[in-house]
Amino acid sequence: MCLGVPGQVAAFDPTHPHQTAVDVAGVRRIVDASLLDDVGVGDWVVIHLGFALAKLSAEEARTTLAMLETDQPAG
């Protein structure tokens, strides 16, 4: 099973435009955002294997994080 986790974009590296710092459950990680267009600081993204794969709303991110924290099945 593959799992993508939500993270909030915190900053971009001006010397490496596709690398972004993302906060994931209080931990800052560097991920590659080159697969997405129009991603900015404050946006929520789904992260898998070090890549930001999709944007999502803050509500979707909160719901997903809550399920992960409580170990509840989706749906």
pLDDT for 72 beyond 80? no
DSSP-derived 3-state class of residue 67: helix
**CB-count burial class (<10 Å; 0-12, 13-18, 19+) for 41:** exposed
pLDDT for 35 beyond 60? yes
**The pTM is what?**
0.84
CATH number (2.30.30.140, 1.10.490.10, 2.30.40.10, 3.30.70.1150) of 5-70 reads 2.30.30.140
How many percent of the chain have pLDDT more than 90? Answer: 64
pLDDT confidence bin for 25, thresholds 50/70/90: confident
Q: CB of 44 within 8 A of CB of 7?
A: yes
pLDDT of residue 29: 94
Task: Write down the number of H helices and E strands in the chain.
Answer: 1, 5
DSSP-derived 3-state class of residue 13: strand
